[in-house]
């Protein structure tokens, strides 16, 4: 389900029963920003895992944000897409 937080939440719940960590990190940007290391990374889930991944995120993107609980990254990605879509339609 594109744009749905359900797959991330199901994965999180499944992993919660095992000793594991979960990090959701959708990105904003297309092929060119990815090649140039200019992605925006929208992290959510386990904050300690986000902090561990931050050096890799800094190589891939120009900004990385920790947004809180699992699902918050997907919701912010939807907001960003809606804003970008409205700017393109004008």
**CA pseudo-torsion sign 89, 73, 41, 68:** positive
Q: What CATH fold (topology level) applies to the domain 6-88?
A: Rossmann fold (3.40.50)
Tell me the pTM. 0.76
The catalytic residues are 77
For the chain, the domains span 6-88
One digit per residue, pLDDT tens: the chain, 90 residues? 455 667 777 777 877 777 778 899 999 988 999 999 999 999 999 999 999 999 999 999 999 999 999 899 999 999 998 998 888 876
d(CA 56, CA 50): 10
């Amino acid at each position: 389900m594109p744009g749905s937080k359900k797959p991330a939440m199901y994965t999180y719940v499944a992993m919660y029963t095992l000793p594991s960590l979960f990090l959701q990190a959708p990105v904003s940007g297309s092929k060119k920003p990815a090649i140039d290391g200019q992605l925006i990374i929208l992290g959510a889930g386990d904050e300690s895992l986000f902090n561990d991944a931050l050096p890799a995120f800094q190589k891939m993107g120009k900004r990385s944000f920790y947004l809180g609980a699992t699902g918050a990254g997907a919701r912010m990605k939807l907001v960003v897409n809606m804003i970008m879509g409205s700017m393109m339609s004008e």
